[in-house]
C-alpha cells in the first residue's frame, strides 16, 4: 500500500470509531462529511514521512497518529467555518458542514472529532504505551491553549496581537505536531523535530497568503481575498508579491537544513521540496512574476 | 485538605495549564470564567469518592482525572449554551460564556477545555502509564461519538430519537465516566463500575426534570421550564410529579445496590444518599407532594 492509500485507510478507520448503528445518524454522517474527500492531507503526509524516515517500527501507532492529526485539523476547519468565525459557505469545493447539516451539528462534529483524535491514540497504545502518551501530550499541546491552534484563533479576538505567537500557534502548531508526532511514533525524541515543523508551518502561511492573493474562488475551493477583506496581517501585504516568493524559498531552504540526522534524511529533504511545489504551484508563482 | 478543597485545587491547576503570559488574554480569562465558580462539582466528587473507596493509591492521577472530567463537563455547558443550541443567557447565575465574552471565544474555550482534559491526563501519566491511558480511553468514549455526550446532543438533531440511547449518552455518560475513572485511577477495572454511574446518571436526569418543572429561574440559576418550552421528553411529563419522585427513589436504591465490593463500600453508599438530597432538596420535593 502506498503512503497516501495508507493514510486514507487510517483516516477512514478513525472516522468509523465515532460511528455505529446505535449512534445519531446525522451526526455520524457529519463526521465523515467533515473529513472527506480529503484535501492534500499535508499534515498526515508529513507525519508519516517523518515516521518512515525514523524507521516506522510501530506502523499502527504511526497510522493512529496520522489519522488523529488529520481529524483534529478537520475539526478546526469545521469550527473555523462557523458563522461566528469565517462564516464560510464552502470548504474544499463543497458546502461547509454547518451549511450542509446545521450549526449545532457542526459544533458537535468538531467536538466529536477532537475527542476521537485522543481516543484513537489511547486505543493504539498497547504496543508502546509511553509513545502513545507522548503523542497525546504533543497533540494536546499543539492544538489547545496556551500555544496550540485554539490559541492561534484566540489571538484574533485580541485588540493587541502578538504576531509571532499568532502565526506560530495558528499555522505552525499542527506542522510542529506533524513532525514531532512522526518522530515519537517511531520511538524518537520530539524536541529535535520542532524546527522542521515550525519552518514548514511558516512556509505554509506565506504560501497561503500568496494563494489567497493570487487565486480565485474556483481555484481555492473557498472564498478568495479573505485576508484583505478581514484586514488580517499577511506576507503579501508586508513584503509584496515578489518579496513573499523569496521569503518562501528562504524558509524552505531553512526547513531542509534543519532536518535531524536519521536514516531517511535524504528522502525527507526530497519530500519537503515536492511539498513546496504543491504549496504554491508553478502557474500561481508565474502570476506573482507577471 | 478535605475532598472539596482537593478537587477545587486540582481544577484550578488544570485550568492554569491552558493559561500563560504568552497566550491570548481574553481566551485565557474565558477558560477560567467557564469553570468557576463551580456548581456542586458533582461529577468529580463522585469520581474522587470512588477513587478513595478503592484506596486512592495514586492521588495525583485521581486529581487529574477529577479535573479532566470537570473541565470537559464545563466545555459541554459552554457549547450547549451557544445561540445555536439552548441560546442561554445565564449559567450558574452569571452570564453564559458567549454573553460575557463572544461566540468565537465560547467555541474556542470549549474546544480548549476539551483538549486540556486529555492533556492533563497524559501529563499525569508517569507514575502509572497504563492507568492514564485507561482514563483517556474512558473519557474519550463517554464524551465523543458514538455514545458519549456529543452523541447525546446529536440525538436532538434527529427526527426519530432512540430515547434510551439519548438519555444514556446525554446525561449518563459523564456519570459512567466518573465512577469508571475513579476506579481506574485507583488501579481497579472499569467495567464493574458501569452500572453505578449509569444509575446515578438516570437519577440525575429525573431530578433535573423535577427541578426544571418545580423551580424558578432564581432557584435554578438558569431559565426554568426549558423542557416544556422545547418539547423535550422528560420524566415529569411521562410519570407526573409523584410518579417521577418514586422513580427517583427506586433508581437511587438500585444505584446503592450496584456498588461493587471495595474497601470503602459503606462510605460510598452514604455518599450516594447525601448526593440524592443535594439533587432534589427536601423543599423542592415538598412542592411535588403539595
Phi, psi of A154 (to 5 degrees): -60, -35
Cα dihedral: A28, A30, A32, A35 (round 10):
-150
Which grid coordinates are listed for A19?
Answer: 460511528
Q: Which residue has the higher pLDDT, A287 or B42?
A: B42
Residue B32 half-sphere exposure toward CB, CA atoms < 13 A? 12
CB contact under 8 A, B116 and A25: no
Which grid coordinates are listed for A141?
Answer: 499541546
β partners of residue A91: A94
Considering only CB atoms, B133 lies closest to which of A122, A139, A145, namely A122
Question: How distant, in Å, are the alpha carbons of B4, B123, B187, B259 from that of B183?
Answer: 18, 19, 6, 11
Give all domains of chain A, ordered by start, each with its CATH number: 3-289 (1.10.600.10)
Residues 6+ apart with CB under 8 A from B76: B110, B143, B149, B153
Considering only CB atoms, B145 lies closest to which of A23, A85, A103, namely A23
**pLDDT higher than threshold 70 for residue A261:** yes
Residues 6+ apart with CB under 8 A from A212: A220, A224, A225, A226, A227, A228, A234, A236
User: Which of B24-33, B59-68, B84-93, B173-182 has the least mean pLDDT?
Assistant: B84-93
Strands B90-91 and A94-95: unpaired
CB contact under 8 A, B151 and A82: no
Cα separation of A243 and A34, whole Å? 35
Residues of B in contact with A136 (CB under 8 A): 118-119, 121-122, 136
β partners of residue B95: B90
CB contact under 8 A, B136 and A122: yes
**pLDDT higher than threshold 90 for residue A133:** yes
**pLDDT higher than threshold 70 for residue B221:** no
Report the pLDDT value the prediction gives residue B205, as an integer from 0 to 100. 86
β partners of residue B90: B95
**pLDDT higher than threshold 90 for residue B129:** yes
- DSSP line for B167-205: HIIIIIHHHHHHHHHHHHHTT--SGGGHHHHHHHHHHHH
Cα separation of B207 and B277, whole Å? 10
CB contact under 8 A, A111 and B156: no
**pLDDT higher than threshold 70 for residue A183:** yes
Considering only CB atoms, A112 lies closest to which of B110, B123, B150, namely B150
Name the closest residue on chain B to residue A133, using Cα atoms. B122
User: Which of A1-5, A139-143, B119-123, B176-180 has the least mean pLDDT?
Assistant: A1-5
Measure B290 CA to nearest chain A CA, in Å: 39
Residues of B in contact with A84 (CB under 8 A): 102-104, 107
CB contact under 8 A, B108 and A154: yes
Report the pLDDT value the prediction gives residue B131, as an integer from 0 to 100. 97
Express as a percent the part of chain A with pLDDT over 70: 97
Q: Which contiguous run of DSSP H or E holds residue A55?
A: none
Residues of A in contact with B22 (CB under 8 A): 146-147, 162, 165
Phi, psi of A241 (to 5 degrees): -65, -50
CA dihedral (A99, A105, A108, A110) positive or negative: negative
CB contact under 8 A, A107 and B125: no
Which grid coordinates are listed for B27?
Answer: 481566551
At A41-90, the pLDDT tens digits run 999 999 999 999 999 999 999 999 999 999 999 999 999 999 999 999 99
Residue of A78, A111, A132 to mutate for B, most B C-beta atoms under 10 A? A111
Measure B79 CA to nearest chain A CA, in Å: 8
Strands B90-91 and A90-91: unpaired
Amino acid at each position: 500500500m502506498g503512503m497516501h492509500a495508507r493514510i486514507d485507510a487510517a483516516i477512514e478507520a478513525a472516522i468509523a470509531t465515532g460511528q455505529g448503528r446505535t449512534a445519531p445518524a446525522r451526526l455520524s454522517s457529519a463526521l465523515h462529511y467533515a473529513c472527506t474527500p480529503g484535501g492534500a492531507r499535508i499534515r498526515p503526509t508529513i507525519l508519516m514521512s517523518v515516521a518512515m524516515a525514523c524507521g516506522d517500527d510501530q506502523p499502527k501507532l504511526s497510522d493512529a497518529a496520522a489519522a488523529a492529526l488529520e481529524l483534529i485539523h478537520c475539526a478546526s476547519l469545521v469550527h473555523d467555518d462557523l458563522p461566528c468565525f469565517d462564516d464560510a459557505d464552502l470548504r474544499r469545493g463543497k458546502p461547509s458542514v454547518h451549511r450542509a447539516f446545521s450549526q449545532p451539528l457542526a459544533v458537535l462534529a468538531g467536538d466529536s472529532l477532537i475527542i476521537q483524535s485522543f481516543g484513537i491514540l489511547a486505543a493504539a497504545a498497547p504496543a508502546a504505551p509511553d509513545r502513545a502518551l507522548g503523542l497525546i501530550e504533543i497533540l494536546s499541546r499543539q492544538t489547545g491553549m496556551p500555544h496550540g491552534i485554539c490559541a492561534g484563533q484566540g489571538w484574533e479576538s485580541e485588540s493587541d496581537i502578538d504576531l509571532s505567537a499568532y502565526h506560530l500557534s495558528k499555522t505552525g502548531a499542527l506542522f510542529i505536531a506533524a513532525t514531532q508526532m512522526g518522530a515519537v511514533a517511531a520511538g524518537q525524541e520530539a524536541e529535535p523535530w520542532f524546527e522542521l515543523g515550525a519552518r514548514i508551518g511558516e512556509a505554509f502561511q506565506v504560501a497561503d497568503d500568496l494563494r489567497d492573493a493570487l487565486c480565485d474562488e474556483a481555484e481555492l475551493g473557498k472564498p478568495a481575498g479573505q485576508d484583505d477583506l478581514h484586514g488580517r496581517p499577511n506576507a503579501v501585504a508586508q513584503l509584496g508579491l515578489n518579496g513573499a516568493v523569496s521569503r518562501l524559498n528562504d524558509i524552505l531552504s531553512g526547513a531542509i537544513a534543519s532536518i535531524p540526522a536519521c536514516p531517511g534524511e535524504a528522502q525527507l529533504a526530497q519530500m519537503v521540496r515536492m511539498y513546496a511545489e504543491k504549496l504554491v504551484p508553478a502557474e500561481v508563482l508565474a502570476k506573482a512574476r507577471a
